[in-house]
Amino acid sequence: MPKKAMDVLTESMFYVLMAFHSGPMCGIDIAEEIDRCTGGRLRIGPATLYTILGKFEKENYIEEISVEGRKRTYQITELGHAAYREELARLRHCIEDAERVKGGCL
């Protein structure tokens, strides 16, 4: 059974939410922030980024706070924070599980 998007946050979604912890941002800022955070390991394609922003706005994970010219700036909501924290906890559990298993952490 394939998993549906938003059942769990995908890697890109997780990093987009992470980027908002540095403050309100527009699409270009988010792409740069993720590039900086991951040291260039994760490059999010523009279509993926705008799909995630659209989806997050619909799910009330982020909200638009200003439109300057044709630049839209968003900030994370409490719901977005909660989703981020939940995903972070899940990932921590994954790491802990891997570390507990003998030979699981190389």
Partner 1 sequence: MSEETIKHVHRLCPCDPCNVEGIQSWLEDMAADGLFLVEDGVFCGVFSFERRSPRKVSYRLDVAQKRKPRFFDSGDELTGEEWELYRSMGWEYLLQYGDFRVYRSTEPNAPELNTESETHAITIGLLKQKHRSALVSSILYTMTVMLLSGGVLRYPCREAATIGLLFTVCIYGLLLLVWTQCLLQFFRFRHYEKRLLHGDELNHHVNWKKTAPLHYLARALPFLLCVGIASGLLSALSRADNELSHEEYTGEIPFATIADVFPDSTITEDHNFLDYGTITGWSTAVSENYEWNESCYVTTADGEKYFCILRLSYHELAAQWLARGLERDYYIYDANRYHGKRFTDLPAPTLAVDSIRVYNNYGTLCVLMREGSKVAQATVTIDNHTNENQWQLWAQAMAEKLT
The binding site for partner 1 (CB under 8 A) comprises 2-5, 10-13, 26-28, 31, 43-52, 54-55, 69-72
Helix 11-19 / helix 78-100 crossing angle, nearest 10 deg: 130
Euclidean distance between CA atoms 54 and 35, whole angstroms: 20
Report in angstroms how near the CB of residue 7 gets to partner 1 at its nearest. 9
- DSSP letter at 7 equals T
Closer CB to partner 1, 72 or 81, in the complex = 72
Instruction: Calculate helix-pair angle for 46-58, 11-19, nearest 10 degrees.
Output: 70
Choice between 44 and 76, CB closer to partner 1: 44
Question: Taking the complex as a whole, how short is the minimal distance between the CB of residue 19 and partner 1, in angstroms?
Answer: 14
Q: Residue 50: which of 26, 81, 85 has the closest Cα?
A: 26
Q: How far is the CB of 94 from partner 1 (least distance, A)?
A: 17
Q: Which is nearer to partner 1, 4 or 96 (CB)?
A: 4
Please report how close the Cβ of residue 54 comes to partner 1 at its closest, in angstroms: 7
Report helix, strand or coil for 1. Answer: coil
